[in-house]
Amino acid sequence: MTNAFDGYLVGMRRPGGEVHESVRTRVDFQRRHRRMLVVDDYPDTVNAFAQLVSILGHECMTATTARDALALIASFQPDICLVDLGLPEIDGCTLARRIRRVHGSAIRLVAVTGWSGLRDKALASGFDDFVVKPLDLSMLRRLLGSGHSFGSSDLATN
């Protein structure tokens, strides 16, 4: 979804406050607005991500379980899901397979974990990308700013 701002730059006003038509210029401002779902079993982590994503001008919903994530995906329709691999009950890889089964490739899935050795398993489970924690602000900006998958080496933090 692209949001557009339609506005006018005004360089001169007539004595009654009226804008002189010859100096009215239309300005279009467009940016890619993203919807992100963050799934992690630590509430502080998901809350921090939600605040950062919001500050960057995007929407973010959070879930602390895979079941909650599946319910939110149907209503929120995120562009991107950041999923911790170490979720309780239903792990992140199982969640990715379920998302792919229902939504295909419509949602960009990013595996987030503290264990770099899980890369192959995560990608085989349907994740588009793999990131090793901690995920810094510049990496979050890159994830939100791109509509395509990065190679795993582009996102590797370790």
Average pLDDT on 54-75 reads 94
SS3 content of the chain, % helix, strand, coil (to 5): 40, 30, 35
| pLDDT interval class at 28 (50, 70, 90) | very low
Whole-number pLDDT of residue 137: 84
Written out in words, the top-level CATH class of the domain with range 33-155 is: alpha beta
44: pLDDT strictly greater than 70:
yes
Indicate if the pLDDT at residue 59 is higher than 50.
yes
The per-residue pLDDT for 69 is: 97
Residue spans per domain, the chain = 1-32, 33-155
How big is the CA angle at 66 (ends 150 and 109), to the nearest 5 degrees? Answer: 10
Which value, in Å, is the radius of gyration of the alpha carbons in the chain?
20
Say what the alpha-carbon torsion angle 126, 94, 42, 62 is, to the nearest 10 degrees: 60
Mean pLDDT of the chain: 79
- What average pLDDT score do residues 31-52 get? 90
Residue 43 has pLDDT above 90, yes or no: yes
Least confident of 25-39, 91-105, 114-128: 25-39
When pLDDT is cut at 50, 70 and 90, the band that residue 26 belongs to is: very low
pTM check: above 0.85: no
- Please give the pLDDT value at position 113: 94
CA proximity to 126, closest of 157, 77, 81: 81
DSSP 76-127: H--SEEEEETT-SSS-HHHHHHHHHHHHTTSSEEEEEES-GGGHHHHHHTT-
